[in-house]
Amino acid sequence: TGHVTLDPGYVNTGACTSAITYIDGDAGVLRYRGYPIAELAEKSNFLEVSYLLIYGALPTQEQYDDFADKVRRHTLLDEDLKRFFDGFPRDAHPMPVLSSAVSALSTFYQDSLDPADPEHVDISTVRLLAKLPTIAAYAYKKTVGQPFLYPDNSLGYVENFLRMTFGLPAEPYEVDPVVAEALDRLFILHADHEQNCSTSTVRLVGSSQANLFASVSAGIHALSGPLHGGANSAVLDMLERIAAEGGDVGHFVERVKNKERGVRLMGFGHRVYKNYDPRAAIVKKSADDVLSRLGKSDQLLDIAKQLEDFALNDDYFIERKLYPNVDFYTGLIYRAMGFPTPMFTVLFAIGRLPGWIAQWREMTADPATKIGRPRQVYTGEQERGFVPISNR
């Protein structure tokens, strides 16, 4: 079987070539298709960035309008899929609801699932981008027992999602532009991050020529874990716990450093960044800005800043090059916007979707792609004879 190189966690194993996202983890650099993340976050919008990631270049006005129009026209869910939400308990976590519904989407479009057919891939791309916010909003509505709102296609992508989430049929809903702008920017910051756990999952599933919906559904599950996208909820839980215990960040950091079981500084550390995560720097500024523009203050933001100051000056974190990552401050913004903690990772999924799609398409179009199939080093028993149950 030849020589196998063991690399648990793929710390040093490249599984593909990619022209989508560039990271220099030591310098804290992140670029999508060559464009620095800070510039995109400031000057672009989420749909434009989605186009950029998926098609490789910034769209012309005409290309942009056409793309945005297509996405707008596919925001509705089939009424049968809508009833799917009835089967979940009221307190269902929205992440498994999200991935189940994405998985179920494939059953509604069985005539257009061929990964080798560019038209199938394009329509699946549009359907996913259009429907994920609708599914996410319904997953939320279900938990609060409110009626589902149909999309309003006079609204922009993010505005539509906010209205479906927080609006009520009996009342007009004014989208707060501060909230819409901040959420759009957060989606941009999450849109791709090369071969992270969920993206690698999307590629691995897709490498068997499974369809885009199946691959993305698997990616959503991978994202849900607390070491990955689930970290944004875990950060909030951690901050709330620290606040409830009197707000002593020093005490909490001691527990982290003592490696108490299950106690990590959530929202800190990264496999690739050994410097400040450039996304975290933007999110931190945005948290201050959004909270002040919404006229909100949050004791948890103060605790988060104290925690960061404490950690950045502590040898344990300095030696290990642990800095805040993108998840450290996002939850505080989501909370100020009115999202409950379990929805945070759903928001990450909406943001990451164009990256998953772009990476899946790049892989599918690459003639060098082979089915993903890691090897192992066997450590079990050598051959032995079967013993009948009566003799054991």
Residues forming contacts to ligand CMC in the complex (CB under 6 A) are: 9, 196, 227-229, 231, 256, 264-271, 320, 322, 325-327
- 156 or 226: CB nearest ligand CMC: 226
User: Both tokens of residue 323?
Assistant: 């800095």
DSSP 8-class letter at 153: T
Could you write out the three-class secondary structure of 206-230? HCCCCCHHHHHHHHHHHHCCCCCCC
DSSP state of 151: P
How far apart are the C-alpha atoms of 191 and 2, rounded to whole Å?
Answer: 39
CA distance 71 to 131: 9
**Nearer of residues 234 and 363 to ligand CMC, judged by Cβ:** 234
Cβ 100 to ligand CMC shortest distance, Å: 21
74 is catalytic: no
User: Least distance in Å: CB of 6 to ligand CMC?
Assistant: 15
Given a contact cutoff of 8 angstroms between Cβ atoms, the answer to whether 178 and 293 are in contact is: yes
190 catalytic, yes or no?
no
Q: Which residue is nearest to ligand CMC (CB)?
A: 269
- Residue 297 CB, nearest distance to ligand CMC (Å)? 25
Q: Residue 23 or 155: which CB sits closer to ligand CMC?
A: 23
- Residues 182, 3: Cα–Cα separation, whole Å: 50
Whose Cβ is closer to ligand CMC: residue 149's or residue 265's? 265
> Is the Cβ–Cβ distance between 200 and 194 less than 8 Å?
no
Q: Kindly list the distances between the CA atom of residue 154 and the CA atoms of 73, 378, 381, in Å, as whole numbers in the listed order.
A: 10, 58, 64
Phi, psi of 25 (to 5 degrees): -70, -25
> Based on CB atoms, which residue is closest to ligand CMC, 167 or 355?
355
**String of DSSP letters for 349-372:** HHHHHHHHHHHHHHHHH-TT----
Q: How far is the CB of 116 from ligand CMC (least distance, A)?
A: 31
Nearer to ligand CMC, 157 or 329 (CB): 329
Given the residues 228, 270, 289, 315, the one annotated as active site:
270
CB of 325 to ligand CMC, least distance (A): 4
Q: Least CB distance from residue 31 to ligand CMC, whole Å?
A: 17
* Residue type for position 1: T
Among residues 47, 116, 56, which one has the least CA distance to residue 75? 47
Q: First-to-last CA distance in the chain?
A: 33
**Residues identified as active-site:** 270, 327
